[in-house]
């Protein structure tokens, strides 16, 4: 059975910038985008992510209650990001985020959080190393804040 994952805006944009949307189906993970995150995706629009096989979902009443409680505790993550964490928690999914404040909140709330580097690692079985290196370089060129040591390790492993 495929694991579920809920993506925030940062991860969606990283997938776009790395031109990785055609490979989303190879992840072995069912990717979901909260409706509030989908509303933030204007350029590129949400239709690109849906065409790649990602699902858009709304948080139910339980998720809304969690988000309102968390809003009082965690001031830095955006409301759409907190909805991503709420949906991930309720569904037992992995939270995919590039936001350090959201990661810290997820850790405190017991929600497994991963980022774009983890997704790239998942694609290693299906996508060439040269393509993964190119994707990572494209993501970095768009200003993604990723740990340099971890990026360098992957680029070296992938022949760059």
The dotted CATH code for 3-127 is 3.40.50.1010
Read off the pLDDT of each residue in 28-35 and give the average, rounded to a whole number: 92
Q: Residue 159: pLDDT band by 50, 70, 90 thresholds? A: confident
H or E element at residue 113: strand 113-114
Token code pair at residue 48 = 């690109």
Residue 68 scores a pLDDT above 80: yes
1 pLDDT more than 70: no
Q: What is the pLDDT of residue 2?
A: 77
Whether the per-residue pLDDT at 133 is higher than 90: the answer is yes
Spatial distance between the Cα atoms of 153 and 98, rounded to a whole number of angstroms? 18
Query: Domain locations in the chain?
Result: 3-127
């Amino acid at each position: 059975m495929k694991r579920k994952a809920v993506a925030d805006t940062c991860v969606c944009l990283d997938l776009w910038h790395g031109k990785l949307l055609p490979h989303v189906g190879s992840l072995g993970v069912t990717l979901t985008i909260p409706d509030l995150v989908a509303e933030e995706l204007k350029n590129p629009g949400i239709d690109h992510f849906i065409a790649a096989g990602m699902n858009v979902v709304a948080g139910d009443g339980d998720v809304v209650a969690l988000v309102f409680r968390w809003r009082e505790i965690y001031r830095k993550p955006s409301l759409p990001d907190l909805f991503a964490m709420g949906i991930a928690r309720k569904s037992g999914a992995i939270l995919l985020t590039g936001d350090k404040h959201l990661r810290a909140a997820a850790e405190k709330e017991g929600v497994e959080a991963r980022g774009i580097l983890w997704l790239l690692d998942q694609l290693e079985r299906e996508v060439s190393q040269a393509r993964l290196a190119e994707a990572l370089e494209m993501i970095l060129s768009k200003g993604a804040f990723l740990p340099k040591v971890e990026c360098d390790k992957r680029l070296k492993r992938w022949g760059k």
